[in-house]
Amino acid sequence: MTLVRLGYVAMSMEVKNASPSKTMTFAQFQKITDREAALRKLERIALQNINNTLRLLKHNAASGIHFYRLTSRLIPLANHEELLDWDYMKPLQMALREVGDFAKKHNMRIDFHPDHFVLLNSPKADIFRNSIITLKLHYLLLKNMGINATHRCVLHVGGNYHETEKSLERFVDNWGNVPRSIQKMLMLENDDTSFTVDDTLYLCEKIGIPLVFDYHHHLAHHRDVHWEENWDRIIKTWEQSPLPIKMHISSPKSEKEFRHHSDYVDPNMLFTFLNEIKGSIPQIDCMIEAKQKDQALFQLMEDVKTWSNVEIVDPSSFIIN
């Protein structure tokens, strides 16, 4: 048997006026003639985002949800090249610590998934440098929350640049220039167009970090290839992690738009996966990537209740036998 915990991404469909991703463009920033006043406005927006994150964590705790992906847009313009002198963490430390303390008190797994422009295998030095700056922001957010940053940040491998092997080797070469604290924070995910499970496993095994298996991405990339033959290798990439193995689950929007995420998760798709891996690991945390966010989680749990080989543990968790 295996314990399955479900989580969702960033936004709640139930908690109103609680966006953790409110922003300000640099053009809007420039329109404020007093630069210090503009910086204070950025800080107020960031503080509102962090307070809304705490509201969402409280919603999660009340709803029995133990797994949540933080937005990477908590602090607008944090890494903008014109604002590198802005000490954005100092005024936010107390609010960030409150988020971290609440997550730890309720044994809630929280993590990040930075945007697609974070490319550790880029051949361009400036893109690689900006990627490290963005990852440092994520590290500092976790540090100021008081959360152990180990394996809290999942990335795609990066750009393929029409040469898969060279792109993989460039990732390995660039990895040596990634600060150790950031290396420990990272996990890699297979994607739906460029890097298969085999490609991503090659990297994860070579540099010693976990692989987050995305089932939908795998099907979009290789519908006729069996992923099960790699499952034991995927498990092994998690052997040194303090966290349970993690995967992503979503469903195609349609056959025509197979790569796009649907509003909800097809339970048959999830159970096709779970029935293959049950018993191989004691626990798996499944991050739902669906347009309806927490509503997709609640609906999936209602669907799960109809399956004969499960025991419901709480509103977001069940055991599959």
- Distance separating alpha carbons of residues 116 and 290, to the nearest angstrom: 18
CA angle 134, 176, 151 (to 5 degrees): 55
Burial of 282 (0-12, 13-18, 19+ CB in 10 A): exposed
pLDDT value at residue 257: 73
- Distance separating alpha carbons of residues 179 and 213, to the nearest angstrom: 25
- Distance separating alpha carbons of residues 104 and 99, to the nearest angstrom: 9
Residues of the chain with pLDDT under 50: none
pLDDT value at residue 128: 97
Overall residue count recorded for the chain in this entry: 321
Residue 278: φ, ψ to 5°:
-60, 135
pLDDT value at residue 220: 82
* Alpha-helix runs per DSSP H in 80-178: 93-105, 125-145, 164-175
- Distance separating alpha carbons of residues 193 and 303, to the nearest angstrom: 30
pLDDT value at residue 192: 84
Q: Helix, strand or coil for residue 144?
A: helix
- Distance separating alpha carbons of residues 142 and 234, to the nearest angstrom: 25
pLDDT value at residue 71: 98
Burial of 239 (0-12, 13-18, 19+ CB in 10 A): exposed
Where along the chain do its domains lie?
20-257
pLDDT value at residue 259: 65
Q: Is beta strand 153-156 parallel, antiparallel or unpaired with respect to 283-288? A: unpaired
Name the CATH superfamily housing domain 20-257: Divalent-metal-dependent TIM barrel enzymes (3.20.20.150)
pLDDT value at residue 174: 97
- Distance separating alpha carbons of residues 21 and 216, to the nearest angstrom: 26
Residue 99: φ, ψ to 5°:
-65, -50
